[in-house]
Amino acid sequence: MSQFFHIHPDNPQGRLIHQAVNIIKQGGVIVYPTDSGYAIGCGLGEKKAMDRILTIRRVDKNHNFTLVCKDLSEIATFARVDNTAFRIIRSLTPGPYTFIFKGTKEVPKRVLNDKRRTIGIRVPDNRIALELLAELGEPLMSSTLLLPGDEFAESDPDEMRSRLEKQVDLIIHGGYLGEKPTSVVDFSEGEPVIIRRGEDDVSQFEA
C-alpha cells in the first residue's frame, strides 16, 4: 500500500519532502508533480524500481527515461553539452522543456537510448519537484505518468491513488494539474532539432 502525501505547491512542508526522499533512497517508486503534469520516478540506477515503472506503464526496456535535475549544475555529469547548447538551455530553464543529448559514462546504460546512447534532461519549474531534487542531491529517473489505455497523462491525484496505490510507494498530491506536454528538442547531433512542440515556444529552434 502506497503512502499519500498532501504537499503544498507553493510552500512544500520540509518534513514531508524529507520523508519522500527517504522513500526514493530506499529504492521506492514515487508519483510527483512537475510543470507539465505528474511524473513517475525513482532513484538513479535503481534497476528494480525502473523495472516496476516499465511494468506500470506497460512499455518495453527501450522506453526513454528522462533525468529530471534541480538545475544545470548537474548537466555536464550526465550529458555531453557544448557551450552553445548550454547557453540556449540556460535561457529556457527551469521550464517545460526536455533536451536530448548524448549521455556520458555516468548515466546507467539501462537509462540510455539503446541505439543512439542519448538521454533526456529536464529542469522543471515546479516548487515541489525542485525541493525533492535539492534534498535528494541527484537527478530523478522519470517518465510521464501515462497509464496503459489512457490517451492523456493523469492529472487527478485521487484517481492516481485509486489506480496505483498497490503499485507505487508514494503518491504526492501537489494539486490538480492539467497535462501540458513538454517541448522536446534534440541536440544529440549538434544542431537542435524539434522533436515535439509542447506548451512553450520553440520558434528559436526553427530554421
What is the reported pLDDT for 117? Answer: 85
3-state helix, strand, coil split of the chain in percent (to 5) is: 30, 25, 45
Supply the CATH number for residue 16's domain. 3.90.870.10
Nearest-angstrom CA–CA distance, 141 and 127: 18
Single-letter code of the amino acid located at 69: C
Residues 6+ apart with CB under 8 A from 138: 43, 44, 74
pLDDT by residue, tens only, the chain of 207 residues: 789 999 999 999 999 999 999 999 999 999 999 998 899 999 998 989 999 998 998 877 667 789 999 999 988 889 999 999 999 999 999 999 999 999 888 887 777 776 778 889 999 999 999 999 999 999 999 988 888 888 777 788 988 999 998 999 999 999 988 777 788 899 998 889 888 887 777 878 776
The two beta strands, 140-144 and 37-43, are antiparallel
Range of the domain at 138: 3-205
What is the reported pLDDT for 72? Answer: 92
Residues 6+ apart with CB under 8 A from 123: 68, 69, 70, 71, 72, 93, 94, 95
What is the reported pLDDT for 11? Answer: 95
What is the reported pLDDT for 199? Answer: 72
C-beta atoms surrounding 166 within 10 Å: 7
State the SS3 of 28-96: CCEEEEEECEEEEEEECCCHHHHHHHHHHHCCCCCCCCEEECCCHHHHHHHECCCHHHHHHHHCCCCCC
Dihedral over Cα of 138, 111, 46, 125: its sign: positive
Q: What strand order describes the sheet that includes 97-102? A: 3-6, 170-173, 30-34, 37-43, 140-144, 66-68, 118-122, 97-102, 183-186, 193-196
| Total structural domains within the chain | 1
What is the reported pLDDT for 205? Answer: 78
3-state secondary structure of 194: strand
Alpha-carbon distances of 8 from 5, 13, 167, 174, rounded to whole Å: 10, 7, 24, 6
What is the reported pLDDT for 64? Answer: 74
What is the reported pLDDT for 173? Answer: 95
